[in-house]
Amino acid sequence: MTMDIGQPEYIPISMINALAYCPRRFGYEFIQAEMLVNEHVAEGTLRHQGVDLGGKEWIGAAVQQRRVYVWSERLKLAGLCDLIEERAGQIEPVEYKKGRPGRWASDHAQLCAQALCLEERLGITIAQGAIFYFATRRREVVAFTPALRATVEQLAAEAQRLVAAGTLPPPTDTRAKCRDCSLQPLCLPDELRLLHGTRTDAWQHDV
Ligand code: SF4
């Protein structure tokens, strides 16, 4: 007997980062649940363990709460915030990343998705959050602008559409992203582009 467990209703917030970076990356990491664990991924996991301590504590004038589970029924997103800070009545999510600020705004989309979930849970508006990059040991403040919020809403809808379709999207047109992508040995984007040229219908045979 086969059992149809259906489409997962909620998408992990971290997958918004993958989708903002490249739809095919989202396809590998979520639709096919594949992830190459290379040294960069492993290092990122280890560094995250430094903030995975849980609990609530006062740091200076701020209250910090680590590892907070949030979700949005509207966007069908769910996941963990690394850190939530409350300072002078203002709440901000803080995300930790192993590298340095990238050229692409996928980290910003992930952080904003956390904020949208938090807003829905708490019934508040969150103006900004921050990303702490271990490589530079600096915090980048991210304003949750109407444009960024709209991008996250589009990504959440696109994630549901891609999961329902169940096929791997084609490689991104932004080739520079592939050079920084840990999935390149699995994805072989250049080879696929060479094989299929610009025929969009051809991608359906790659899954
Ligand atoms: S290698 Fe390029 S096309 Fe493939 S998943 Fe990574 S970014 Fe996307």
Q: Position of tokens 């909620």?
A: 10
Within a domain: 31: yes
Within a domain: 185: no
Within a domain: 4: no
Q: Which letter, b or e, does each residue of 8-42 get, where b requires 16 or more Cβ atoms within 10 Å of its Cβ? A: eeebbbbbbbbbbbbbbbbbbbbbeeeeeeeeeee
Residue 191 Cα to ligand 1 midpoint, Å, equals: 12
Q: Residue type at 192?
A: L
- Please give all residues whose beta carbon lies within 6 A of any atom in ligand 1, as ranges: 22, 24-25, 171-172, 177-178, 181, 183-184, 187, 189
**pTM reported for the whole predicted model:** 0.82
Residue 103 Cα to ligand 1 midpoint, Å, equals: 15
Q: Which residues pair with 59 in a beta bridge?
A: 62
Within a domain: 85: yes
> Tokens at residue 96, please?
């930790």
Number of domains, the chain: 1
Q: CB of 168 within 8 A of CB of 27?
A: yes
In angstroms, rounded to a whole number, what is the distance separating the alpha carbons of residues 55 and 108? 25
Digit-by-digit pLDDT tens for the chain (207 residues) are 444 445 558 999 999 999 999 999 999 999 888 544 444 444 455 455 544 445 666 666 678 899 999 999 999 999 999 999 998 889 999 999 988 887 888 999 999 999 999 999 999 999 999 999 999 999 999 999 999 999 999 999 999 999 999 889 999 999 999 998 999 999 999 998 888 775 444 554 443
Q: CB of 29 within 8 A of CB of 177?
A: no
Domain boundaries, position 78? 11-170
Within a domain: 204: no
Within a domain: 18: yes
In angstroms, rounded to a whole number, what is the distance separating the alpha carbons of residues 36 and 57? 35
CATH number at residue 141: 3.90.320.10
Ligand 1 closest atom vs CA 25: 5
Within a domain: 48: yes
Strand pairing report for 11-12 and 77-87: parallel
Within a domain: 2: no
Q: CB of 119 within 8 A of CB of 83?
A: no
Residue 137 Cα to ligand 1 midpoint, Å, equals: 27
Residue 142 Cα to ligand 1 midpoint, Å, equals: 25
Cα 25 to Cα 10, 100, 175, distances in angstroms: 18, 20, 13
